[in-house]
Amino acid sequence: MLHAIVLLLVCQLAGETLAHFLSLPLPGPVIGMVLLLAALMLRLPLPQAMGDTADGILRHLSMLFVPAGVGVVQQLDLLGAEGGRLLVVVVLSTVIALAVTALTFTWVAKLVGGTEAPPEEKAE
């Protein structure tokens, strides 16, 4: 388990380093996840406990939202002043993300030929 956590932290550190030195517009942890995905796709030897460690982190994922909740509570005055604008931005960004996802799915389905109708059953 320790080796798996170290690997996750090394991927995050590598992502942070790349983001900093290359001035990339992506957060370091996202780049680290892409690096880990590349390692998985290349079938590089990873610690055997990687799956169990990832499952353990996912089981306790809600604990990672506590700092964000504390940050929101600390900024209640700003939230009260700008709450309407924030709500509009959140709703619009959600709608845009859903629309882009649906259009991307449709485009990819057409590329791979997944839009064909299933064969109709013959009536007897």
Return the pLDDT at 107. 93
Domain termination site, one of 64, 82, 100: 64
pTM as predicted: 0.53
Is 42 within the bounds of a domain? Answer: yes
**Residues 27 and 44 occupy one common structural domain:** yes
- Domain check: are 55 and 82 in the same one? no
Q: Is 78 found in the same domain as 60? A: no
Q: Confirm whether 2 is domain-assigned.
A: yes
Whether 82 and 34 share a structural domain:
no
Is residue 120 domain-resident? Answer: no
The pLDDT value given to residue 21 = 94
Each residue's pLDDT, cut to its tens digit, for the chain (124 residues) gives 888 888 889 999 999 999 999 998 889 999 999 999 998 888 888 778 888 888 888 898 888 788 888 888 888 898 889 989 999 999 999 999 999 999 999 999 998 886 555 566 655 5
Number of structural domains in the chain: 2
Query: Domain containing 94: what range?
Result: 73-113
Claim to verify: residue 26 and residue 52 sit in the same structural domain: yes
In this predicted structure, what is the pLDDT of residue 98?
97
Q: Are residues 13 and 48 in the same domain?
A: yes
Does one domain contain both 50 and 105? Answer: no
Q: Is residue 118 part of a domain?
A: no
3-state SS of the chain?
A: CHHHHHHHHHHHHHHHHHHHHCCCCCCHHHHHHHHHHHHHHCCCCCCCCHHHHHHHHHHCHHHHHHHHHHHHHHCHHHHHHHHHHHHHHHHHHHHHHHHHHHHHHHHHHHHHCCCCCCCCCCCC
Please indicate, yes or no, if residue 123 is contained in any of the structural domains: no
